[in-house]
Structure 1
Amino acid sequence: MDGHEILNYFEHRRDGAWVCTRPVTLTTARASVAIRPGMRFDYGEKVGGIDLAEYLERLGSQFGS
């Protein structure tokens, strides 16, 4: 999966959080994490060693999400 394709698995909410919409496995240098639909990610929350909300926001800015 290309890096920006992960955006297809999340929805950006008005309150700034990102919510998973379908199952995906996030693989980072530190870990492989199964993410289930409904899981919510706010800024500052680390998943597999990365701030997932910040990462998704940067990708969204680059790839138009």
Structure 2
Amino acid sequence: MAAPHDILGFFEHRTDGAWICVKPFTLNTRSTQVDIRRGMRFEYGRRVGGLDLAEYLEQLGSQFGS
């Protein structure tokens, strides 16, 4: 089973604060599954599958490095 911070490997954190997907994957949340495609951009406030993905990635990045 993958660790939650492994998701960081699918994204690049940009200097403008956005997170860009660099490898496609399926995001599994409590309520749904969402296909995340390469090149998709996530900024604060953009919810996907009920999750503010940029905020989540930022929190993980702070804990585990990004």
The SS at the match of 2:15 is coil
Q: Report sequence identity in percent.
A: 65
* Partner deviation per Cα, 1:24-58 (whole Å, 9 max, x = no partner): 11000011001010000010000000100000000
Q: Confirm or deny that 1:53 pairs with 2:62.
A: no
Structure 1 gaps of 5+ residues are none
**2:39 maps to which residue?**
38
Cα RMSD between the aligned structures? Answer: 0.5
Structure 2 gaps of 5+ residues are none
The 2-side partners of 1:30 and 1:49 are apart by 7
Query: How high is the TM-score relative to the length of structure 1?
Result: 0.97
Query: How high is the TM-score relative to the length of structure 2?
Result: 0.96
